[in-house]
């Protein structure tokens, strides 16, 4: 049974994230969507809120679960029997950064990193951009699930 992880901050989860998660769920037996706990950064949504939004957003995928972690991703993988990391790539700049991370991770453990190119309609999409547009009253309804849009509006009300 192949168990993989899709790590990220998911602050908030976007349709671009769900594209990668959904595609990974068709390729692998089990997908864990893992939210990084970074004590040095304060997100718009708490870790618990992100996990709740992710649980709702991924409920359509029966082989997807959610978790949070702090520390090294490779340690999370080792502790949870995860054999590979799945990352979405939007552009060449993502590849440069993610390749370095993949090589560092492979130097620490035997966990492989696999890249899935994003669907073109989401190639520009980042949680930080969604938050910035939503903060200023812009329309992000096509970029996030409806319930995430509701929560964004509540945060910026």
Which candidate in 26, 40, 41, 42 is catalytic? Answer: 41
73 annotated among ligand-binding-site residues: yes
Which candidate in 23, 25, 50, 90 is catalytic? Answer: 90
pLDDT score at 120: 92
In sequence order, which ranges of 86-155 are alpha helices (DSSP H)?
A: 92-108, 127-135, 146-155
pLDDT score at 91: 84
**pLDDT tens sequence across 18-56:** 999 999 999 999 999 999 998 777 899 999 999 999 999
Q: Any catalytic annotation for residue 127?
A: yes
126 annotated among ligand-binding-site residues: yes
Q: What is the pTM of this model?
A: 0.94
89 annotated among ligand-binding-site residues: yes
pLDDT at 83 over 90: yes
Pick from 12-26, 82-96, 137-151: least confident: 82-96
In the structure encoding, which two tokens stand for residue 84, read together? 């590979």
Q: Any catalytic annotation for residue 136?
A: no
Q: Any catalytic annotation for residue 90?
A: yes
Q: Which residue has the tokens 């049974």?
A: 1
Q: Any catalytic annotation for residue 135?
A: no
Domains of the chain by start residue, with CATH: 1-122 (3.40.50.620)
pLDDT score at 43: 92
**pLDDT tens sequence across 103-121:** 999 999 989 999 999 999 9
Over the chain, what is the mean pLDDT? 94
pLDDT grade for 157, boundaries at 50, 70 and 90: confident
Task: Measure the CA–CA gap between 137 and 140, rounded to whole angstroms.
Answer: 9
pLDDT score at 142: 96
Task: Measure the CA–CA gap between 154 and 105, rounded to whole angstroms.
Answer: 38
pLDDT score at 94: 85
Could you give the angle at the alpha carbon of 14 between the alpha carbons of 11 and 17, nearest 5°? 100
**pLDDT tens sequence across 48-68:** 999 999 999 999 999 999 999
Percent helix, strand and coil across the chain, each rounded to 5? 45, 20, 35
């Amino acid at each position: 049974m192949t168990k993989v992880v899709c790590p990220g901050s998911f602050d908030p989860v976007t349709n671009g994230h769900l594209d990668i998660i959904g595609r990974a769920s068709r390729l692998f037996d089990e997908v864990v969507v893992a939210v990084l706990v970074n004590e040095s950064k304060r997100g718009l949504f708490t870790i618990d809120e992100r996990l709740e939004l992710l649980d709702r957003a991924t409920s359509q995928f029966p082989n997807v679960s959610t978790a949070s972690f702090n520390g090294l991703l490779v340690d999370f993988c080792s502790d949870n029997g995860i054999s590979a990391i799945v990352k979405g790539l939007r552009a060449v700049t993502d590849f440069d950064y993610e390749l370095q991370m993949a090589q560092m991770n492979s130097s620490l453990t035997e966990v492989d990193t696999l890249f899935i190119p994003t669907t073109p309609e989401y190639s520009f999409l980042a949680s930080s951009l969604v938050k910035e547009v939503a903060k200023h009253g812009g329309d992000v309804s096509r970029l996030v699930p409806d319930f995430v849009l509701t929560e964004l509006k509540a945060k910026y009300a």
